[in-house]
Amino acid sequence: MLLALIRKELLALVRDMHGLAALFVMPMVFIVLMSLTLKDIYRPPLAELTYAIDMRDTATPAQWLKQLWQRNHGAPQPLGDDWQARLRNGSLKYVIVMEQGLSEELESAALSTQARVHLLTEPGIDANLFNALRAELVGASGELKARLALAVPGTAGPAPDASIQAMVRAERFSTAGPRPTSVQQNVPAWLVFGMFFVVASLSSLFVQERSSGALGRLQSLGVSRFTLLASKALPYLGVNALQAVLMIAAGIWFMPLIGGDALSLAGIHWGALLLSLAAVSLAAVSLSLALACLVRSHAQAATIGPMVNVLMAAAGGIMVPKFVMPGFMQRLVEISPMNWGLEALLTVLLRGGGVADALPQIGRLVVFAALMFFIAVFLFRRRAP
């Protein structure tokens, strides 16, 4: 009896070749994607980050510090009058401000008590990169101060590390918008991921209704395919809206209770936030409909949907920050709908942007949603009874 039951299960597996293939192919693709995206996680690509230097001290020691930095990071971009806007929107990754008095501080044997070097990074920079940049700038300043001290006979030895730490101040750039924190960065990422996860629920219910004949009976009553799909989409748009409210509420009120920073909505553009969330929801639900019309069995729905979601997150900058990916992976990330949603929300919640700033990503999401919905209608027309 046991052998007969085992044979029955094996035959059921073999009959569902698409679901079986998904069980093997999807994990392999996930391994490849994660291996590529994490390739440089322990070697932050600092030399590839675009930066500028604000030289408020033009004396020789400050120039030496600039040259020391350029040797490892390449030539800086022109500062320009719009450097704050470029830093806020991420086109500049960081700016080093060398304040007046830096040269005297570097040449002095006295302990540093005032920050003369300011590192300003874009609001959304990864924490690992932020810490690596700060550590390297402290090291470069300490190295130059030590060289200058040893070059003068009779001068005291190199300053203690605490003195160099006081000379350099690092912070994420923030204007009137929310203060950048880890919560401010992570809530948008996992909000996008959660909203796209409706694919698992929607596709399973869709397959169940198709198998039971409910969809066929509705069509026999004259209900159009477009109406059927729209009736599936609207409730899940509501589910996504509830998800967004709950996750934002958790960031605002729950995170402080467990010792984390609170999500701040101070100074954000509410219209831009609502449009961004609506665009993400449309894209997520439309993709779910397309996949629901594509799969043929419960096994496929339970396997393919969640795996597609995880793969999109891995390749979309949700699981691994875009900054630490190799160059070709960063280009791949830019065609991921999840990344469009993430960038739109980061623009609003982290960079203080408005509708115009988030509009490119919102537009891509809306176009993607329309394309997926029409694909769903086409597949439903071909496969519906």
Taking residues 238-258, what's their average pLDDT? 88
178-187, 192-201, 286-295, 297-306: segment of lowest average pLDDT: 178-187
Cβ neighbourhood burial of 234 (10 Å; 0-12, 13-18, 19+): exposed
168 bridge partner residues = 117
pLDDT of res. 277: 95
**Are 281 and 373 spatial neighbours (Cβ–Cβ below 8 Å)?**
no
Give me the pLDDT at residue 371, please. Answer: 95
In this structure, how many other beta carbons lie within 10 angstroms of the beta carbon of residue 340? 28
Predicted confidence at residue 160, as pLDDT, reads: 56
In the chain, the domains with their CATH numbers are 17-40+180-383 (no CATH), 49-172 (3.40.1710.10)
Arithmetic mean of pLDDT, 178-193 = 75
Report residue 129 CA to chain centroid gap.
14
The overall pTM is greater than 0.85: no
| pLDDT category of residue 279 using cuts at 50, 70 and 90 | very high
Q: Is residue 179's pLDDT more than 60?
A: no
In this predicted structure, the answer to whether residue 360 has a pLDDT above a threshold of 90 is: yes
What whole-number distance in Å separates Cα of residue 110 and Cα of residue 114? 11
Q: Of the ranges 185-189, 209-213, 339-343, which one carries the lowest mean pLDDT score?
A: 209-213
Report yes or no: 98 and 362 within 8 Å, Cβ to Cβ. no
- List of E strands, the chain: 51-55, 94-98, 117-121, 168-172
pLDDT for 365-384, tens place per residue? 999 999 999 998 888 876 65
